[in-house]
Structure 1
C-alpha cells in the first residue's frame, strides 16, 4: 500500500460526506448502434479545417498558476517534476506491451471543479520543458471544454470533427503553439452525440492510431469528471494510464470510491491531491493499487 495514498485517502475521509448527487449509470454502448447514429448525423461538409498556430500569453498563464518556460524553477514546476516521473517511466517503457497504450494518459476527476484541466495543462507543460518529446494535449471534455477556452480555440474544429468527418485528419485540427513541442487539439464544436462519438469505433481507432504512430509522443487527454457523465469511463478503456485529480479537503471519500469503480481495474491509475496546503517537499502523488482498501 502506498503511504502517500493512504494519507490522502484519510484526508478525504475527513471531508464532508454529504451527497454530491447520484452518479449516472454507465450503460455499455453498442458500437453498431453508435456507428449508425453517427452515419445518420449531418455535419457540414464545407467546414473549414483549422490546423493553425496560437501564440500563448505566457505571462497571463503564469499569473493563473500554470507552469511556463519563463519560470522553470517555481514551486509548482518542482511539484510536477515529481508527478511526471512515474508517468513517463511507464509511458516510455518499451518492455511493456505496445497495445497497452501507456503513452496515452487520461486526466479526470470525481467531481467538477477539482482541477483536472489545470493538472492536464501543467503536466503537459512540465514534460515539454524538460524532455525531448512532443506532447499532444487533447480536450475530450465535450460538456465543459475548459482546456479549449484557456487556449482560445473553442470556436475551432477539433476532436468532434475528426470523429464525425472522414475527410478530417487529426493533423488538420492540431494547433501548434509558441511552446516548443506542445500541440493542442480542441474539443471542437458542440454536438448532441458527443458521448456516443467517444464510445464509437472511430474513437477507439483514433486512440490506437495515435498511440502507435507516435510511440515517443506523450498524449494527454483532458476528460470530463467521472461522476458527471459517462464519457470519462468510456475513454478510460482506450488509454494506458489514468490520473485522477482529487481536491484536498473537499472531495468525499465516497465520491473517490465511486469514481474509481468506474475505471478498468487493469489500468494503471494514479491520484493527485490538488489544492492542498502541504509543507514544501511533501508528496502530492501516488498510485492507487487495484486492491486498495478504502475503509
Structure 2
C-alpha cells in the first residue's frame, strides 16, 4: 500500500495537528435480533420489535460458525448478509453529529476526506485479497492522530452493507474512542482479559454508526503490556476475526515511540499502519518508528497534517 495523506483538521484534544487526508450501552448478545426471528428464521414483525426490549434480543442461534469450524468456503454468505441487514442500533448518529465528531459517512459533503479513506480501505482489501483482517493503527509520535485514522477507517469499512467493522481501543493509557463516539462505558477489553468467565457481549457497544461496533479500553490499565502479551489476548484476536468472516477489526494503540503495545499487538494481527504527523516528525524518527513493526506486516504510512 502506498503512503497516504489525509487531512481533516486537528485530533482532539492532544494536538492542533489533525489528520490531513485520509451513549449507548453494550448489546447483551452483540448485534441483536428478535428472539421470534431467531426461532422462525423470518424477520421479526413490527409488533415483535415493539414488545421485545432491546436488551432481551438474542442472536446466539443465528451466529454463523467460522470457516475454521466448518471448513473453507462453507460459510453461507446469504445468511451472513441477512444477519448484517438485521443489525439494529439503539441510536443513530445524525450527519450533524458525525460532522461534529469528524467522522466520515457516505453522504458527507467532505468528499475529499471520504474518498481518501475509501482509497485506504480499497488498498487494504486488495492486500488481503478481499478477506477480513486485523489491523493495528499507531502513531509515530504522541498526538499523531492515530485514533482519528482508526475510527474513520473502520467507518469506511462499515459503508459496505455486506460487511461490518469492529473498533478496539487498545490505548489503555489514554483511551479516547468512547469519548469520540459519546458512549458511556462500564466495561471493556481489559475487563474481558482479566476475567476468564467474562462474557464478550458485555464489552461490545453499538456506536450509532450502522455496522460499526466498539470495544472500549476497559477499567484496568496499570500494566497494558501484560494484557497484550497474555494468551487470552491471542485467543480474543483469533475469535473476533474467525467467528465473523464479514468483519474487519481495527485496533487503535498508543504511539509506537512511547509504548511497546503497538509492536506487541502487531505480532498477533495481520497488518500494521503508521500515522505520521505532518511537519512534526523527522525522517530519522519516522524510520525508527517504522522499524518497530515487522516489515512484512507494515502496509504503509498515513500522513496526518
Equivalent position to 1:80, from 117, 121, 132: 117
2:291 pairs with 1:261: yes
Asked if 1 retains the 8 angstrom alpha-carbon contact of 2:101 and 2:181, the reply is no
CA drift at 1:260 = 1.3
Partner of 2:104: 67
2:239 pairs with 1:209: yes
CA drift at 1:223 = 0.8
Aligned residues between the structures: 225
Partner of 1:105: 135
Partner of 1:136: 166
Asked if 1 retains the 8 angstrom alpha-carbon contact of 2:140 and 2:277, the reply is no
Partner of 1:219: 249
Asked if 1 retains the 8 angstrom alpha-carbon contact of 2:101 and 2:180, the reply is no
Asked if 1 retains the 8 angstrom alpha-carbon contact of 2:134 and 2:249, the reply is yes
Partner of 2:259: 229
Deviations 1:20-78 (A, max 9, x none): xxxxxxxxxxxxxxxxxxxxxxxxxxxxx943756545413313432134516622111
Partner of 2:213: 183
Residues 274/191 of structure 1: CA separation in 2 closer, same or farther (3 Å cut): closer
CA drift at 1:155 = 4.1
Structure 1 runs of 4+ aligned residues shifted over 6 Å read: none
2:286 pairs with 1:246: no
Asked if 2 retains the 8 angstrom alpha-carbon contact of 1:92 and 1:216, the reply is no
Residues 203/72 of structure 1: CA separation in 2 closer, same or farther (3 Å cut): farther
Asked if 2 retains the 8 angstrom alpha-carbon contact of 1:154 and 1:187, the reply is no
Deviations 1:264-292 (A, max 9, x none): 233142211111xxxxxxxxxxxxxxxxx
CA drift at 1:89 = 2.2
Q: Aligned partners of 2:177, 2:207: CA distance in 1, in Å? A: 14
Q: Aligned partners of 2:161, 2:183: CA distance in 1, in Å? A: 26
2:118 is paired with a residue of what secondary structure? helix
CA drift at 1:216 = 2.0
